[in-house]
């Protein structure tokens, strides 16, 4: 693996703080991430934030096609130069939070596998985008901030448990595969990273038509996570039935509990009970 620091200097580039650029410099970690993604020859991979393209090139040797989305125009030019002779790499300049995921899916002509070293500041909103468009993806393998990864797998009752935990666990089977020290990146971030792997549940807890209301109920409750459940719901901006407390009691949930203590299945029952 070439020296990222030297390579950036050759192109007259420096890591950009505004885009949270931390380049992976450890070849062993790179290979471990690719193994975690469980890639096959016929796969189409969406890579986000490819940087100087080391993972892009490694992915391209294993799969049918790599679609690499990069926001930094200078890095886009570097990537296009380095991959000019490879027909199975498509480099797209753009902000993945704004670009059409449906359009990326059409470029691949099949479900995509996501493999990415995510800038910390976009990891949570991007995860929500992936969940909303989950039919476009088969698996998701991400390097992200350890704190975010641990929020994703958090259990009820802890401070890490919240909407991200509930939404990811309700639709996917996910796990933290391993942790990465800051020294594996240039420049090193101030915190550890983690690699997570997500596979969608064969039997989701919710039907597609139930998801929007479920999300509104969960977000409404956690907007007032320190209040009792009944009070959190009354303060939330939700259209609720007049017999609110009676409906909660009917499904066997104590209305005096705090929202953060409810298991995911209890939130599913709660959303169903409160549907007008």
CATH number at residue 107: 3.40.50.150
Question: Do strands 193-200 and 137-145 pair parallel, antiparallel, or not at all (unpaired)?
Answer: antiparallel
Pair (216, 103) in one structural domain: no
Dihedral sign computed on CA atoms, order 168, 171, 176, 177:
negative
Of 142, 176, 200, the position where a domain reaches its end is: 200
pTM of the model: 0.91
% residues pLDDT > 90 (the chain): 85
Rg (Cα) of the chain, in Å, rounded?
A: 21
pLDDT of residue 15: 83
pLDDT of residue 99: 95
Range of the domain at 166: 4-200
Pair (231, 260) in one structural domain: yes
pLDDT digits (tens, 9 = 90+) for 160-180: 999 999 999 999 999 999 999
Pair (221, 192) in one structural domain: no
Classify burial at 35, counting beta carbons within 10 Å of its beta carbon; exposed 0-12, middle 13-18, buried 19 or more: exposed
Task: For the beta carbon of residue 20, count every other beta carbon within 10 angstroms.
Answer: 16
Cis peptide before 187 (omega within 30 of 0): yes
Question: Do strands 44-48 and 112-117 pair parallel, antiparallel, or not at all (unpaired)?
Answer: parallel
- The low-confidence residues of the chain, meaning pLDDT below 70, are 1-2, 276
Here the tokens at position 43 are: 């796969």
Pair (9, 143) in one structural domain: yes
Contact 131, 123 (CB under 8 A): no
Pair (51, 177) in one structural domain: yes
Contact 176, 153 (CB under 8 A): yes
Here the tokens at position 25 are: 């410099």
Residue showing tokens 């799969």: 63
pLDDT digits (tens, 9 = 90+) for 107-152: 989 999 999 998 888 999 999 999 999 999 999 999 999 999 999 9
Domains contained in the chain, number: 2
Pair (254, 126) in one structural domain: no
Of 134, 168, 200, the position where a domain reaches its end is: 200
SS (H, E, C) 130-196: HHHCHHHEEEEEEEEEHHHHHHHCCCCCCCCCCHHHHHHHHHEEEEEEEEECHHHEECCCCCCEEEE
pLDDT of residue 66: 98
Cα–Cα–Cα angle for 133, 195, 176, nearest 5°? 90
Of 176, 200, 224, the position where a domain reaches its end is: 200
Pair (82, 150) in one structural domain: yes
Pair (35, 108) in one structural domain: yes
Pair (128, 212) in one structural domain: no
């Amino acid at each position: 693996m070439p020296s990222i620091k030297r390579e950036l200097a050759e192109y007259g580039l420096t890591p950009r703080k505004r885009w949270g650029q931390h380049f992976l410099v450890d070849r062993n970690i790179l290979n471990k991430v690719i193994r975690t993604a469980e890639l096959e020859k016929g796969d189409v991979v969406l890579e986000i934030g490819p940087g100087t393209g080391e993972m892009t090139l490694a992915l391209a040797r294993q799969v049918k096609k790599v679609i690499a989305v990069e926001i930094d125009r200078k890095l886009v030019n570097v990537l296009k130069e380095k991959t000019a002779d490879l027909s199975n790499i498509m480099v797209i300049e753009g902000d993945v939070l704004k670009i059409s995921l449906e359009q990326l899916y059409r470029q691949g002509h099949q479900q995509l596998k996501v493999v990415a070293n995510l800038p910390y500041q976009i990891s949570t909103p991007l995860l929500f985008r992936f969940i909303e468009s989950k039919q476009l993806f088969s698996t998701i393998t991400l390097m992200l901030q350890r704190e975010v990864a641990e929020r994703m797998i958090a259990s009820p009752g802890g401070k890490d448990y919240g909407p991200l935990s509930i939404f990811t666990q309700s639709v996917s089977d996910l796990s933290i595969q391993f942790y990465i020290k800051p020294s594996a990146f240039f420049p090193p971030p101030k915190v550890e990273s983690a690699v997570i792997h997500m596979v969608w549940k064969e039997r989701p807890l919710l039907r597609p038509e139930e998801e929007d209301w479920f999300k509104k109920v969960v977000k409404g409750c956690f907007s007032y996570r320190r209040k009792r459940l009944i009070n959190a719901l009354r303060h939330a901006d939700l259209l609720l039935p007049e017999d609110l407390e009676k409906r909660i009691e009917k499904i066997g949930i104590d209305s005096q509990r705090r929202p953060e203590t409810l298991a995911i299945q209890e939130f599913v029952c709660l959303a169903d009970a409160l549907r007008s």
